[in-house]
A and B are shown apart, each in its own frame.
Chain A
Amino acid sequence: MWQIFHKLGSPKWFFGISTRFMPWLLVGGIMLLLAGAVWGLAFAPKDYLQGNSYRIIYIHVPAAFLAQSVYIMMASAAIVTLVWRMKLADVFVKAVAPVGLVLTFLALFTGAVWGKPTWGTWWIWDARLTSMLILLFLYGGVIALDRAINDEKSAARAVAVLVLVGVVNIPIIKYSVEWWNTLHQPATFKLTEKPSMPAEMWVPLLLSVLGLYLVFGWLACVRMQTEILSREQRTRWVKEFVMKGRV
């Protein structure tokens, strides 16, 4: 058990295994994402309340879903960084934070555009949109702190502390924003809350969520490899990989 754990932490082992899995992640992710999008755009039935604008769900929900779970993943990695000082964990946090930021932005953007035909305005201080905005701030803070500290090791550990403080706050922020929302505008029309969705509607959604997960996995691998390359330049296996193209 511990041996596997230590192996997991070795950049060399990660490099080998990720190189093997990446093509599958990429192909599978893009196929699923496109299948979900095409199905959702062209074949899923029209929503009786929102009309065709609801088709944005097939990208909005995956982006929002992933934006939140990326932060949770970062928090798990942060614990590993602080407790076991595993190299790969802080490489992960650093590599993935900008991806989380972009996904959060996408969730916000698609939410705002969806809001225009549904609510009649681009922006509404809806509980979900507002907590997404705060999540965007959290990601921004993590990236800013990482960029501001020059020393790699202390940057990783400082970022880990910040991510953990953030993750403790996320549920508090979520509930307080929801409470604040009901205080100010009782029972607005929710974008994604449906009493029950027929299968033709939620199956494509499931496909695109899975697809985006795989694409995210691929992105994380590429970005982690980049980070590892620049950190481990002095090791022999990186030299072999760069010069001969294999681990």
Chain B
Amino acid sequence: MNAEARPAVRLASSSVGALAAMKGVFARDMKVAFRQRQDLLNPLLFFIMVVTLFPLGVSPEVSFLSEAGAGILWVAALLSVLLSLDHLFRHDFDDGTLEQLVLQPQPLFLLILAKTVAHWMLTGLPLVVLTPVLGVMVHLDGNSIAILCLTLLIGTPVLSLIGAIGAALTLGLRSAGVLLSLLIIPLYIPVLIFGTGTVAAAAEGAPVGAYLALMGAFLMLALTLAPFAAAAALRISLSNG
């Protein structure tokens, strides 16, 4: 990896405000990601492939797919976010950028929040954009697709935020990928339950406002707590050496 592709973080001064620092980290992560476009495409390809497996492996019948479709798309999205989490800190850890970040005068949890937001924009958001196409392929009706997109829009940031904790905890370990999944999947279960539950409720014609509000509450909870936990985990992993 050449230095050109990975610009340094330039905010090593306490005169830079926290917000500007967050912007800097965010902009840098976006820039790095767009210089390695294949890394952006991989989770999306994975998402499509996993969804393809279900009609092939279980049943291509319309009745099955339209009933299980929302669940399939949610599980596939969850797995592809999980797959992409390994990259969240890995490269920065390898080239030492992460240690620079930890040494910044700005609070670490804000910088991690900026990184996580960038991660979501690069994985979660494209998944949401891709969902209508796949939704049509698994015979979901228009209303279900709209609700599904909405739940994914609220749910995938939660996945990224919780995942950041796991990625920080397993940083630099030998079998980090598998370990990360082991730690994180149980924590993803409530989001998955409510994500698919909302679509199921909508399909039955029940009002979904309460469910969406609950998912919003999950998002707020993750937004306020996860960056702190991830920052603590990151410091521990870096002191590990």
Interface positions of A (Cβ within 8 A of B): 82, 134, 137-138, 140-141, 144-145, 148-149, 151, 154, 157-158, 161-162, 164-166, 168-169, 172-173, 176-177, 179-180, 183
Nearest-neighbour CB distance to chain A for B193, whole angstroms, equals: 5
Q: Are B197 and A148 neighbours in the complex by a CB distance under 8 Å?
A: no
C-alpha gap A99/B232 in the complex (Å): 27
Q: Which residues of chain B come closer than 8 Å to A173, judged between CB atoms? A: 186, 189-190
Asked whether, in the complex, the Cβ of A145 is within 8 Å of the Cβ of B190, the reply is no
A158 to B233, CA, bound (A): 6
B residues engaging A (CB < 8 A)?
162, 165, 169-170, 173-175, 179, 182-183, 185-187, 189-190, 193-194, 197, 200-201, 218, 225, 229, 232-233, 236-237, 239-241
Contacts of A149 in B (CB 8 A): 173, 240
**Interface of B (DSSP majority class):** helix
- A179: which B residues are within 8 A, CB to CB? 193-194, 197
Q: By the criterion CB–CB under 8 Å, are A161 and B169 in contact? A: yes
Alpha-carbon distance A145/B167, docked complex (angstroms):
12
Inter-subunit contact B193/A161 (CB<8 Å): no
CB closest residue in chain B, given A139: B186
Query: Knowing A162-B169, A177-B189, A183-B200 touch, does A148 contact B174 (C-beta < 8 A)?
Result: yes
Closest residue of A by beta carbon distance from B162:
A165
Instruction: Report the separation of the CA atoms of residues A149 and B239 in the bound assembly, to the nearest whole angstrom.
Output: 12
Contact of B233 among A138, A140, A161 (CB under 8 A): A161
Is A165 touching B186 in the complex (CB atoms < 8 A)?
no
CB distance from A144 to the nearest CB of B (A): 5
Of all chain B residues, the one with the shortest Cβ separation from A155 is B240
Which of B169, B187, B193 is A158 in contact with, Cβ under 8 Å?
B169
Out of B165, B187, B190, which one reaches A161, CB within 8 Å? B165
Q: Top 5 A-B pairs ranked by shortest CB distance?
A: A176-B190, A137-B186, A154-B240, A141-B183, A180-B193
Q: List 14 A-B contacts (CB under 8 A).
A: A82-B232, A140-B182, A145-B183, A148-B173, A158-B236, A161-B169, A161-B236, A162-B165, A162-B233, A169-B187, A169-B190, A176-B194, A179-B197, A183-B197
Asked whether B187 lies within 8 Å of A166 as measured between CB atoms, the reply is yes
Known contacts A148-B170, A161-B165, A180-B193; is A134 also within 8 Å of B186 by CB? Answer: yes
Task: Tell me the complex Cα distance, A172–B214, Å.
Answer: 11
Contacts of A177 in B (CB 8 A): 189, 193
Instruction: Name the B residues within 8 Å of A180 (CB-CB).
Output: 193, 197
A154 touches B237 (CB 8 A): yes
Give the distance in Å from the alpha carbon of A141 to the alpha carbon of B169 in the complex. Answer: 11
Q: How far is the CB of B212 from chain A (nearest CB, A)?
A: 14
Q: Which of A137, A148, A168, A179 has the most CB of B within 10 A?
A: A148
The smallest beta-carbon distance between B231 and chain A, in angstroms, is: 10
Across the interface, which residues of B come within 8 angstroms of A172, CB to CB?
190, 218
> Which residue of B is nearest A138, CB measured?
B186
**Bound form: Cα–Cα A151–B239 in Å:** 10
Q: Which of B182, B187, B201 contacts A165 (CB 8 A)?
A: B187
Q: Which residues of B contact A158 (CB under 8 A)?
A: 169, 233, 236-237
- B205 to A: closest C-beta gap in Å: 14
Minimum CB distance partner of A177 in chain B: B193
A residues within 8 A CB of B162? 165
Contacts of B241 in A (CB 8 A): 151
In contact, A151 and B169 (Cβ under 8 angstroms): no
Q: A144-B182, A176-B194 are in contact. Are A154 and B187 (CB under 8 A)?
A: no
**Shortest beta-carbon distance, B202 to chain A, in Å?**
13
Contacts A161-B236, A172-B218 known; list 20 others, CB within 8 Å: A134-B186, A137-B185, A141-B186, A144-B179, A144-B183, A148-B174, A151-B240, A158-B169, A162-B183, A164-B229, A165-B229, A166-B187, A169-B190, A172-B190, A173-B189, A177-B189, A179-B194, A180-B193, A180-B197, A183-B200
Is the pair A145, B240 in contact by a Cβ cutoff of 8 Å?
no
State whether B182 touches A176 (Cβ < 8 A). Answer: no
Q: Which residues on A sit within 8 Å (CB–CB) of B182?
A: 137, 140-141, 144
Point out the residues of chain A lying under 8 angstroms from B183, CB to CB. 141, 144-145, 162
